[in-house]
Structure 1
Amino acid sequence: MLSVSFYEKVLAVIAAVPAQSVWISGSVVEHLGNAASDVDVFVAVEDRAAASVLPLTKINGNFDILISFVEGRRVDYEFWSQDEILRIAARLHAIPLNDAGKNILNQLSGSDTDFVHRLKTGWPVMDKARFNEIQSWFDFNFYKDYLVANTILYVDDAFDDTVGMFDNKDIDCAALRARFTVEMSVDVLLYSNGITNDKAKYRIKKLKTLGESNDFAKDVYNRFWQLQSKIPGSLKGKIAYIQDALKFSSEIIESVQH
């Protein structure tokens, strides 16, 4: 973990901002990153004007960004207004998860899901009480269920694509689509176990960690590595790969749903 002096220097950079709460999040907090990983700092402010006292690096549609360096390490500060945080909470809880007739695909944007996860896993370094209050605006179990349901839609689409390509004898495309089906299926397993980090670059590491306490996930890890790392070059090998990948995907989804 980072030192106390590092956190003090992180806060010193934004000392001029009337922040409601500040929390550290991202790969470093989740033990997914490394010594060169950026540090992500989230700053809750009453309104976006609060951050204007700083030389902002980027102004986004929903939040503002300041990139700085502390002890030679890059630190990304994101400034989120109270209204925007509440809007994300409202969008999340308005998703009709229990209505089969309603579309739930991608009801949250990438920045929405990133914020919710970073709030869920954050470590407060300023005003813990306010941080806890902001967390209370979100039902993280509901968020987990949304990620599972949303990603299953991707699995279903990729699975159907693979079958269609296979039947059409488009074996190369079917093999690649089968690999994507497997990737999405593994994400469903991770989400269902409360691992809501959606960064694909950490998929294998998240799965390996889950496998340390979950026998099914441990088996999934071993099989996933084989399916992910190599698609056979021969036609016969590709056909066997596709069949194995689809069977593997079905087993994961069945396990999650039951």
Structure 2
Amino acid sequence: MTNQPPTLDELDSLLESKHGLQLKELIDDIYLKPGETLMWSGSWVEGFANSRSDVDLYLLGDVEGRPGKPELTAPGLPNMRMALSSGQVRLDITVVPREVVSGVGALLAAFDGDLGYPTQWSPDLREFIHRLKIGVPVLQPEVLEAQRDLIDFDKFTSYLRRFYHNRADSLLEDVIGLLDEGDAISAVLVARQRLAAVVDLYLATHGETNTRVDKWRWKKLNRLHHREHPLLQRYLEAERIGSAGSGAEPRGACEAILVFADDLLLQTL
């Protein structure tokens, strides 16, 4: 990230200003076993929380006996477990087995960012590693730091770069095939998906490793660059092009999106 995460006191003050509550009022019934830790992450820590945002907590420890639905991680690693509580403020608690953190650490240690092909991790796992990177400790902070020390976050950035680059290359082949068959409208739609993958690669290259970027993509670009930056202007033009009233033909719209994505891709290599 390009800015420092807030402190727990700052988050509590923000929560109280929006909802009249502090975190301790929401976590009274959460218990920790020895060697476990609790952290606050997600949109509140990112600085993107609004009146409808969940409070995202992660309990790193034992899933046995704790409620929630399973969330897949990666081949050979145990599932996480997520429970969402209703109320004035929705509390999203994900329990992450310690074996997930140590397993990801081992996978990243063996990963070659230049030559390696990314192991298929679930979106939930990729999101968790980012949130582990930025998370604010709530209980047992020394345990959280020990868990964080198991992850090479520079390698995580390399993993994401390779993941998004592979996706962008695959989608480019799809665009070319659609244009060859004369389906320019589908080509525009897929070209926009490719642009999204390239923007995500660009963001990861600049330290923005949040993988659930669909709703935050513009906010994160805007955090990296001021609103009038040429890159942001071209991004907005690419997203609007081909819409009603723009006058752009579908094939021309597709080509413009591809050109911008290629220009942006070159800035990440």
Shorter chain as denominator, the TM-score bin is 0.7 to 0.9
- Whether the 8 Å CA contact 2:241–2:253 is kept in 1: the answer is no
User: Could you say which structure has the higher helix fraction?
Assistant: 1
Residue in structure 1 matched with residue 144 of structure 2 by the alignment: 131
Residue in structure 2 matched with residue 85 of structure 1 by the alignment: 101
**2:230 partner amino acid:** D
For residues 177 and 183 of structure 1, what CA distance do their matches in structure 2 show? Answer: 10
Residue in structure 2 matched with residue 238 of structure 1 by the alignment: 250
* The one of 193, 196, 218 aligned to 1:204: 218
For residues 148 and 157 of structure 2, what CA distance do their matches in structure 1 show? Answer: 14
Matched, 1:253 2:265: yes
Scaled by the length of structure 2, the TM-score of the pair is 0.82
- Whether the 8 Å CA contact 1:63–1:78 is kept in 2: the answer is yes
Q: What displacement does 1:119 show?
A: 0.2
- Supply the RMSD in Å over aligned alpha carbons: 2.4
| Number of equivalences | 245
Gaps of 5+ in 1: none
- Residues 163 and 73 (structure 1), Cα distance of their counterparts in 2 relative to 1, 3 Å cut: same
- Whether the 8 Å CA contact 1:232–1:238 is kept in 2: the answer is no
Scaled by the length of structure 1, the TM-score of the pair is 0.85
Q: For structure 1, which segment, 15-24 or 187-196, has the greater mean C-alpha deviation from structure 2 after superposition?
A: 15-24
Structural mapping, 1:48-197, within 5 Å: 48-49=63-64, 52=65, 56-60=67-71, 62-69=79-86, 72-99=88-115, 102-104=116-118, 106-197=119-210
Q: What displacement does 1:8 show?
A: 1.5
Q: Equivalent pairs: percent with the same residue?
A: 25
Q: Deviations over 1:113-141 (max 9, x none)?
A: 11101100100111222111111110111
Q: What displacement does 1:48 show?
A: 2.3
- Whether the 8 Å CA contact 1:190–1:206 is kept in 2: the answer is yes
Matched, 1:228 2:242: no
Gaps of 5+ in 2: 1-10, 73-78
- Residues 59 and 237 (structure 1), Cα distance of their counterparts in 2 relative to 1, 3 Å cut: closer
Q: What displacement does 1:69 show?
A: 4.6
Matched, 1:28 2:28: no
SS of structure 2 residue aligned to 1:201: coil
Superposition misfits of 4+ residues, deviation over 4 angstroms:
16-19, 232-236
